[in-house]
Structure 1
Amino acid sequence: MYVLGLGGSNHDFSSCLLKDGEIQCMIEDERITRIKNCKGLGLDLAKGFSRKYCLDYMGIDIGSIDLIIGNDILNPIMYHRLDKEISLINHHMAHAASSFYTSPFGKAAILVVDAVGSKRWDGKTKSYESISIGYGDGNKIEILDKIEGKNLSGTDYIENSLGIFYSIITDAIGFGEHQEGKTMGLSPYGRDTYCEDFKKHIRYIGNGKIEMGESDISYFLSLKDRVNSCKCLEEAFSLKQDYAYAVQKVTEEYLLLLCKYVKEITNADYCCLAGGVALNSVSNYKIYKSGLFKDVYIQAASGDNGTSIGSALYGYYSILGNERKGKVC
């Protein structure tokens, strides 16, 4: 049985091919196109770079695939030329599945933290997920709680998102899109000048909830102008260091608080992390050293690239109902 998972959102596209539940091939489109994050491909995305690579690797064609599955914010250009039905699952479920199903845990809490996920429409308001808390048991995953936020009109920003917070500060520093790892690297050189100020505009309000409204986002966006108004390079660089320190420290603190809430509602011995914020290795180490869990598992492709893995495995285990193999704890 072959299952093909397609991954990404509006960036970081990838494909993952399973045979009888085992990953045979997974590759990102950027490895083939040599375009970082595969931004701006336009209609060329329909060429299915990673999909064709996986099929060629196994020596099969699309007709041999039993199930194709992606996530619901995946750019439809990636699959619109396929003469085959595709199933779409929740974006954060794809992240969760990518971590839990590849982990050695038979049962585990799951924490997904990224910038923006799937949209929810209640008939009046559109909300977008930024954090999801789940629990995996065998071949099933249940989402227990979510943090959502409204989109700021005319922007890609949503409220109540740790990932958006980190992204805005990264841009203010001048590193650009998808360069949050550089901000993490710069953070040890800064001072704690802005930590309390930042916490006034992104707040942990208890019970696994983070609050950051439109006015708070406007404040963080204004920081870029403060950097640009500096009179000398030394002053600007010092400000950038302090911003990096603050965004990193606040993120670490809130992730630990989120993990404490996850432990409280699941009482799990183990935890799986996924989503772009789970690539913050400094925070991950502090979660591990906190002792909240016996062990913590981070899916290596925690960003949107890894949703092809999660989609494929969710299809094989949850949709098709196959039992997991190789559980060790």
Structure 2
Amino acid sequence: MTYILGVSAFYHDSAACLLKDGAIIAASQEERFTRKKHDASFPKKAIDFCLKEAGISIDDVSLITFYEKPFVKFERIIDSIKNTVPFGFLFFKKAIQSWVKVKLWIPSIIRKELNYKGKMIFSEHHEAHAAGAFFTSPYKESAIVTVDGVGEKACITIGYGKDNHVKILKEQHYPHSFGLLYSAFTQYCGFKINSGEYKLMGLAPYGKPIYKKQILENLVSISKKGEVSLDMKYFSFDVGKTTINNHFCSVFGRPARKAEEKMSDFYCDIASSIQSVTEDFMTILLEYAKEITKSENVCLSGGVALNCKANGELLKRNIFKNIWVQPASGDSGGSMGSAFVGYYNYLKKERKQIEDSLKEQIYLGSSFSDFEIEKVLKKYNIVYDKKCDLDLLEVISEELKNKKIVGCFQGRAEFGPRALGNRSILGSPLYVDMKEHINMKIKMREGFRPFAPVVLEEKKENWFEMEDSSKYMLFTFKGKNKNKIPSCIHEDNTARVQSLQKKDNEFLHNLISIFEKKTNCPILINTSFNVRGEPIVNSPFDALNCFFRTHMDVLVLQNYVLFKENNKKPHKQFLKKIDFELD
């Protein structure tokens, strides 16, 4: 048996993924265990989990792969500093400390932390993204497009995958990065970069793209081949200060919004404008990828591939016959991609198709037995009931019908940024004020943030303008009945839909089916089980912590159900204040 351990670390969203003969055994982000969102540290806990899940030790691992080449990245940073002398000195001082202490010694750190004596290789960052997208796709051959902030040097790549091999055909280098352009607008609108980009996307429908012309005339030009050219006069990320500067702000005549400042129409229009530029850019890039690969299929990866609004537009524009977006397109997914690079590009193994299902692609994290769950409940004197599946579904559906908010903790945790039913907060979409209620009382986040609907696969076309499945919540679609489900249709009448087949999550499918019988609605609101600034819950203890610190009404831990009203005096452990860094 061939076990390959893929690792991503030391930038953000550190993670580990374990393959056994090309099949994904386990994958998880380090943040789920450390409870530090976007944790960049070496993913020792995630690695330990993966090995335990497979029932092996580190000695059984044939190959460890790391998701980028540190020395190539260091070379790019040194070149960038030389090009910005003397303005880059402070950046150099900060960067060199990090590299000298940690990043130049990654091979030694991996061997020491894991006591590993076997073979180790390093993939390129965009190669890992490309492999993660293609080898999880249902296609035998495909164009591959990757767009993110920056890897070693590449920011945008076009590749091609066939059978068991992935090859990068075209690439564009730092600093001309569309991902960093989008992050600049993230900062300008008052959100945290490498964390708040999805907020910028959620804000866009509240505005109009009236600043699109200013963006294209001043900040960026885009060629017919999707080549990006930034005017670096307006940016500061290359000298290590903030992403933007006063010149950037002068283009729009307003300063950057301060974090937590009340949102104005101006910043809504800014968000709408850069979102429109993003959709046009991705269209041009995919058109060129189609031209040079001649494929009918395309796989998308990198952080920009998580822009589900742009993905929804790409679907409508029919550039490719088929589009696949890797569910874990960010840096955490680099651990999976680098493992595939090791298995296919390095070991030359025969291609094994991975099933297009939540169980194979997403449900790859931690799980807990009934014994482990009950042990935690008893330890903290929780009042609970244990119910058989049918009784449990009946109780939960009735609570949802009556406007209760339910935390749902089932089976294996999801890998990547989306909660797709196993670590989710569920609510009824039928109430006009449900969106505001969950945002303010449960998630503790901005009121403009949208919620995603999970709909029965067989009923999706009655409620949304969609023909294909959308299992991973990575595309937006127009709603058909906004007046009936007002809490999960966004300002522009779109929704980030998850369509659910019974084979992918029988528990959630049955729950929605019973809810439909009670309400004539085959849809629930599905949002990740966490509060703002906190990673998605991983363990029963995490779930209890989140439950008692919010206005959630019901918590379901597999077949165990507990009600807030029956647990009015929670254990002191759940009364301790936890400050999560706001994103």
Normalising by the smaller structure, the TM-score range is: 0.7 to 0.9
Residue of structure 1 in register with 2:211 after alignment: 194
Say yes or no: does 1:174 pair with 2:190. Answer: yes
Q: Tell me by how many angstroms 1:78 deviates.
A: 6.1
Q: Distance in 1 between matches of 2:111 and 2:62?
A: 18
Residue of structure 1 in register with 2:170 after alignment: 145
Q: Tell me by how many angstroms 1:314 deviates.
A: 1.4
Q: Distance in 1 between matches of 2:10 and 2:322?
A: 30
Say yes or no: does 1:27 pair with 2:36. Answer: no
Question: Which of the numbers 155, 161, 170 marks the counterpart of 1:136?
Answer: 161
Contact residue 131 and residue 341 of structure 2 kept, 8 A: yes
Within-5 A mapping of 1:71-150: 71-72=67-68, 75=103, 76=106, 79=110, 81=112, 82=114, 83-84=116-117, 85-118=119-152, 128-149=153-174
Contact residue 8 and residue 306 of structure 1 kept, 8 A: no
Q: Distance in 1 between matches of 2:123 and 2:55?
A: 27
Residue of structure 2 in register with 1:124 after alignment: none
2:255 counterpart SS class: helix
Contact residue 17 and residue 24 of structure 1 kept, 8 A: yes
Q: Distance in 2 between matches of 1:53 and 1:320?
A: 25
Q: Distance in 2 between matches of 1:243 and 1:271?
A: 30
Residue of structure 1 in register with 2:223 after alignment: 205
Q: Distance in 2 between matches of 1:295 and 1:192?
A: 28
**Partner letter of residue 290 of structure 1?**
R
Query: C-alpha deviations, 1:200-220, integer Å up to 9, x for none?
Result: 211102323111031142595
Q: Per the alignment, do residues 180 and 229 of structure 1 end up closer, same or farther by CA in structure 2, a change over 3 Å counting?
A: closer
Tell which deviates more after alignment, 272-281 or 55-64: 55-64
Residue of structure 2 in register with 1:154 after alignment: none
Q: Tell me by how many angstroms 1:243 deviates.
A: 1.3
Q: Tell me by how many angstroms 1:238 deviates.
A: 1.9
Q: Per the alignment, do residues 320 and 190 of structure 1 end up closer, same or farther by CA in structure 2, a change over 3 Å counting?
A: same
Q: Per the alignment, do residues 52 and 300 of structure 1 end up closer, same or farther by CA in structure 2, a change over 3 Å counting?
A: same
Q: Distance in 2 between matches of 1:161 and 1:209?
A: 9
Q: Distance in 2 between matches of 1:51 and 1:60?
A: 11
Contact residue 17 and residue 28 of structure 2 kept, 8 A: yes
1:50 counterpart SS class: helix
Q: Per the alignment, do residues 262 and 9 of structure 1 end up closer, same or farther by CA in structure 2, a change over 3 Å counting?
A: farther
Residue of structure 2 in register with 1:264 after alignment: 291
Query: C-alpha deviations, 1:180-214, integer Å up to 9, x for none?
Result: 00000000111222110011211102323111031
Contact residue 8 and residue 307 of structure 1 kept, 8 A: no
Q: Distance in 1 between matches of 2:331 and 2:279?
A: 21
Say yes or no: does 1:48 pair with 2:73. Answer: no
Residue of structure 2 in register with 1:161 after alignment: 177
Within-5 A mapping of 1:204-243: 204-217=222-235, 220-222=244-246, 223=248, 226-228=254-256, 237-243=264-270
Q: Tell me by how many angstroms 1:71 deviates.
A: 1.8
**Which structure has more RCO (C-alpha within 8 Å, separation ≥ 6)?**
1
Q: Per the alignment, do residues 32 and 327 of structure 1 end up closer, same or farther by CA in structure 2, a change over 3 Å counting?
A: closer
Tell which deviates more after alignment, 72-81 or 23-32: 72-81
Query: C-alpha deviations, 1:86-124, integer Å up to 9, x for none?
Result: 210100000000000000000000000000111xxxxxx
Q: Distance in 1 between matches of 2:245 and 2:211?
A: 15
Q: Per the alignment, do residues 163 and 197 of structure 1 end up closer, same or farther by CA in structure 2, a change over 3 Å counting?
A: same
Residue of structure 1 in register with 2:6 after alignment: 5
Tell which deviates more after alignment, 201-210 or 94-103: 201-210
Tell which deviates more after alignment, 14-23 or 64-73: 64-73
Residue of structure 2 in register with 1:125 after alignment: none
Q: Tell me by how many angstroms 1:224 deviates.
A: 5.7
1:4 counterpart SS class: strand
Q: What are the ranges of 5 or more consecutive residues in structure 2 without an aligned counterpart? A: 71-102, 237-242, 356-583
Query: C-alpha deviations, 1:129-180, integer Å up to 9, x for none?
Result: 100100001001111000112xxxxxxxxx2111101111111111112110
Contact residue 104 and residue 326 of structure 1 kept, 8 A: yes
1:206 counterpart SS class: coil
Q: Distance in 2 between matches of 1:68 and 1:300?
A: 22
Q: Tell me by how many angstroms 1:34 deviates.
A: 1.0
Question: Which of the numbers 224, 236, 255 marks the counterpart of 2:282?
Answer: 255
Contact residue 96 and residue 111 of structure 1 kept, 8 A: yes
Q: Distance in 1 between matches of 2:225 and 2:134?
A: 23
Could you tell me the TM-score, scaled by structure 2's length? 0.50
Could you tell me the TM-score, scaled by structure 1's length? 0.86
Q: Per the alignment, do residues 24 and 168 of structure 1 end up closer, same or farther by CA in structure 2, a change over 3 Å counting?
A: same
Q: Distance in 1 between matches of 2:234 and 2:187?
A: 16
Tell which deviates more after alignment, 246-255 or 70-79: 70-79
Q: Which has the higher strand share?
A: 1
Q: Distance in 2 between matches of 1:73 and 1:302?
A: 19
**Partner letter of residue 184 of structure 2?**
I
Q: What are the ranges of 5 or more consecutive residues in structure 1 without an aligned counterpart? A: 119-127, 150-158
Question: Which of the numbers 338, 342, 349 marks the counterpart of 1:311?
Answer: 338
Number of equivalenced pairs: 303
Q: Distance in 2 between matches of 1:290 and 1:280?
A: 16
Q: Distance in 2 between matches of 1:221 and 1:94?
A: 32
Q: Tell me by how many angstroms 1:221 deviates.
A: 3.4
Contact residue 203 and residue 210 of structure 1 kept, 8 A: yes
Q: Distance in 2 between matches of 1:67 and 1:80?
A: 12
Contact residue 209 and residue 274 of structure 2 kept, 8 A: no
Contact residue 69 and residue 315 of structure 1 kept, 8 A: yes
Q: Which has the larger radius of gyration?
A: 2
Q: Which has the higher helix share?
A: 1
Identity of aligned residues (%): 36
Q: Distance in 1 between matches of 2:183 and 2:53?
A: 36
Q: Distance in 1 between matches of 2:291 and 2:126?
A: 21
